[in-house]
Amino acid sequence: MSEGSAAEPGSSVRPVRHAEFEDPRLVEVYDAEYPWLRDDDFFLSIVNETPRSRVLDLGCGTGRLAIGMAAAGHVVTGVDPARASLEAARVKPGAARVTWVEGTSATLRDDAFDVTVMTSHVAQFFVSDEAWSRTLGDLKRTLIPDGVLAFDTRDPRAREWERWNPVDSRRSIELPDGRIIAAWTEVTAVSDNVVSFVHHYDLTDGVTIQSSATLRFRSEEVVRSSLWAAGIPVERIYGGWHREPVGEGDGELIVVARS
């Protein structure tokens, strides 16, 4: 049990930052909660526009999409700072076809990739302008000229965080062994499109774990200007997974840009 992350029922629990990526008990829950869905279909279709491409999956997590892209014939590198997530990725069927790197974009080689993806809102984890522009600088450097960058970020106009409360966000997650995990999410602070929140998980053995995080919700205008400044201008932005215009669809900004 990681210190401060869990307690007997009724006692106080201190949230641990990014526990759902760092704590193996929650990595299993994350994997069960987020199977292959239409966002993965979308990103795979974008990657498939460049056949047999060298793909960087930055923030690959437990590797669902990375393994899928490798199975589709791409040469995939999955990068993530969360060791427990990568350990879960490495033992999945098909994982041996992916190169797994524990770290961030900072250590990657120049001109190494034809396509880069950041999926399930990884882009929002770069909260400060400085962290975002440094990451975009790395992605520009590591993409070949004319390379593709695709990612999703929630449209702040959809104000999704207003549904991150104990009532609207309450959910049950079934693990592969049949255990049911109760979970809900609670916002703790909102300021200037920066939202902090805590995920609560009731594990079946009476243990409660809380995982905290902070995300930045960038507007379409900020996304466009930051990518332009990084030398990876936007080619297309969609509002939903069926390529709806921004403002329609799923409350997303789904970005395809070119270096």
Ligand X SMILES: C[S@@+](CC[C@H](N)C(=O)[O-])C[C@H]1O[C@@H](n2cnc3c(N)ncnc32)[C@H](O)[C@@H]1O
Interface residues toward ligand X, by CB under 6 A: 21, 34, 58-61, 64-65, 80-82, 85, 104, 119-122, 125
Residue 202 CB partners (closer than 8 Å, separation 6+)? 181, 182, 183, 208
Give the nearest distance from C-beta 8 to ligand X in angstroms. 28
Name which of 82 and 150 has its Cβ closer to ligand X: 82
Q: Which is nearer to ligand X, 83 or 242 (CB)?
A: 83
CB of 116 to ligand X, least distance (A): 11
State the amino acid at position 26 in one-letter form. L
Spatial distance between the Cα atoms of 254 and 151, rounded to a whole number of angstroms? 6
SS3 (DSSP) at 259: coil
Torsion of CA 115, 118, 119, 123, to 10 degrees: -150
d(CA 75, CA 71): 9
AA identity, residue 42: F
Q: Which is nearer to ligand X, 135 or 208 (CB)?
A: 135
* Nearer of residues 41 and 204 to ligand X, judged by Cβ: 41
Nearer Cβ to ligand X (7/133): 133
- At its nearest, how many Å lie between ligand X and the CB of residue 33? 10
Phi-psi region of 73 (alpha: psi -120 to 50; beta: other; left: phi over 0): left
Assess contact for 25 and 203: CB atoms under 8 A.
yes
By residue count, the chain amounts to: 259
| Residues 6 or more apart in contact with residue 10 via CB below 8 angstroms | none
Position closest to ligand X via CB: 61
Nearer to ligand X, 102 or 244 (CB): 102
Nearest distance from C-beta of residue 122 to ligand X, angstroms:
4
Of 58, 49, 216, 86, the C-alpha closest to 143 is 58
**Nearest distance in Å: CB 19, ligand X:** 11
Comparing CB distances to ligand X, the nearer of 7 and 194 is: 194
- Closest approach, Cβ 12 to ligand X, in A, equals 26
Question: Residue 65 is encoded by which pair of tokens?
Answer: 């999409």
Closest CA to 58 of 147, 136, 133: 136
Smallest gap from Cβ 80 to ligand X, in A, equals: 5
